[in-house]
Amino acid sequence: MMQMVHSRFNALLSACVLSLIATAGWSQSITWLGTLPGGSESWAYGVSADGVVVVGWYYILAGQWRAFRWTASGGMQDLGVLGGYQSEAYGVSADGRVVVGKTSSSVGWRAFRWSSLSSSMRDLGVLPGGNQSEAYAVSADGAVVVGRSYNNSNQPRAFRWTASGGMRDLGVLSGYSFSEAYAVSANGAVVVGRSYNNSNQPRAFRWESGVMQDLGALPGGNWSAAYGVSANGAVVVGWARNSAGQDRAFRWTASGGMEDLGTPPGYDRSWAYAVSADGAVVVGWAVGTLGWDNCAFRWTASGGMEDLNTTYASLLRGSALWEARAISPDGRYIVGRGYNAATHRIEAFLLDTRGGSTLCTLDGDVNGDGIVDDADLLEVLFNFGSQCP
């Protein structure tokens, strides 16, 4: 009798395992965001923590782009402009309510901060004596914005903006003349980007508490630029040129310095643009020797470089993921641009690497299928005691 009970339990357990595997397989998804009427292509540059909001821009006319905010329930929304004809969105707060970017205006390019509370853009101004600015990233709570602004000498300088303090010039690396900020930590305290010398050669920097730190370069190389930073500011990612003159994605830490992340198989150049909150997952894009054969990649310490087109081939059906530009804090959602075979055009994409609805997230939904049930409990039991390598 006991043997029969054990047999039935094992059979049930096996069925549950198979069910979980099947669920994980079919529930991963790729969503192509399309464009608004009259648009011909779109690019994604930011994603909210829950994957519900994506921001970027779509192409409307020759030489004209418009910033968009896309939601899973409402689709794509044009964020408008500030008296000009063009705008681009680059960053979004963790809750998806604040969007930052740049817009043309009657006085040139201006950094903007858009809020869902007012459904309007705010001109963040410029540095004293300057005439142009652009915003590239925003803190998790939407309070700190970073980017670049031209100063009174018409030099681009990295800035950090807050409502109370306005736009602050972060300076440049020692011996350098220009700077640009591309990412900010979750609490807004750490800013990363690149500084240029008079020969227009870039160097990655990390700014904190008024001090701009040179992150160096790969062995034998000299150029580098930082584009992403972990939630606590401890991990920085970007690209650096190696001794062979090839650009390579890097991951930097204070203890380990700059690490060359390599390239996916078949590619020889790579650029990292974003990193998960814990600094463990890096995304970007890679290019082969032909120059046009590019792919979106994901890097982890355990898995190394992977071509997302290979990993998620079953979802693509002839489509292609060309660039990964942002990742959600937990590493689940990846956004960028690619080729949508169904519409035959370049489009922004939202890749859900775990599966489940993007309409909401639930505590306890381990397998990401939008339901907290016994399947989640079994997955926890099966993996109880496991540890990351």
**pLDDT per residue as tens digits for the range 69-97:** 999 999 999 999 998 899 999 999 999 99
Cα(239)–Cα(286) distance, integer angstroms: 11
Instruction: Give the list of residues 6+ apart from residue 1 with CB closer than 8 angstroms, or none.
Output: none
Provide mean pLDDT across the span 189-211. 96
Instruction: Give the list of residues 6+ apart from residue 4 with CB closer than 8 angstroms, or none.
Output: none
In a domain, 22, yes or no: no
pLDDT of residue 368: 44
Of the CA atoms within 13 Å of residue 36, those in its CB half-sphere come to 18
In a domain, 10, yes or no: no
Question: How many structural domains are present in the chain?
Answer: 1
In a domain, 137, yes or no: yes
Tokens describing residue 106: 């009657």
Quick check: 383 pLDDT over 70?
Answer: no
Quick check: 357 pLDDT over 50?
Answer: no
pLDDT of residue 158: 98
Q: What residue spans of the chain are helical by DSSP H?
A: 2-27, 308-311, 313-316, 374-382
pLDDT of residue 1: 45
In a domain, 46, yes or no: yes
Cα(47)–Cα(30) distance, integer angstroms: 14
Tokens describing residue 371: 């339901």
In a domain, 379, yes or no: no
Facing residues of 271 across strands? 285
- Please provide the average confidence, as pLDDT, over all residues in the chain: 88
Q: How confident is the model at residue 62 (pLDDT cuts 50, 70, 90)?
A: confident
Provide mean pLDDT across the span 159-165. 98
pLDDT of residue 289: 76
Residue with tokens 């690490």: 259
> Residue 199, class by beta-carbon neighbours within 10 Å (0-12 exposed, 13-18 middle, 19+ buried)?
exposed
Nearest by Cα to 220 from 252, 246, 242: 242
Phi, psi for residue 78 in degrees, rounded to 5: -75, 125
Phi, psi for residue 322 in degrees, rounded to 5: -90, -45
Quick check: 31 pLDDT over 80?
Answer: yes
pLDDT of residue 256: 96
51 DSSP assignment: S
Q: How confident is the model at residue 27 (pLDDT cuts 50, 70, 90)?
A: confident
pLDDT of residue 19: 38
Provide mean pLDDT across the span 273-289. 96
In a domain, 265, yes or no: yes
Total residues found in the chain within this entry: 389
| For the chain, percent of residues with pLDDT exceeding 70 | 84
pLDDT of residue 107: 86
Question: Using an 8 Å Cβ cutoff, are 347 and 340 in contact?
Answer: yes
Q: What share of the chain is helix, strand, coil (3-state, %, to 5)?
A: 10, 45, 45
Cα(325)–Cα(146) distance, integer angstroms: 17
pLDDT of residue 378: 53
Q: What is the CATH number of the domain that holds 310?
A: 2.120.10.30
In a domain, 210, yes or no: yes
Quick check: 36 pLDDT over 90?
Answer: yes
In a domain, 8, yes or no: no
What is the domain extent for residue 51?
A: 30-369
pLDDT of residue 366: 47
pLDDT of residue 217: 96
Quick check: 20 pLDDT over 80?
Answer: no
Digit-coded pLDDT (tens) for 205-225? 999 999 999 999 999 999 999
CA distances from 227 to 33, 264, 274, 327 (A): 24, 19, 7, 12
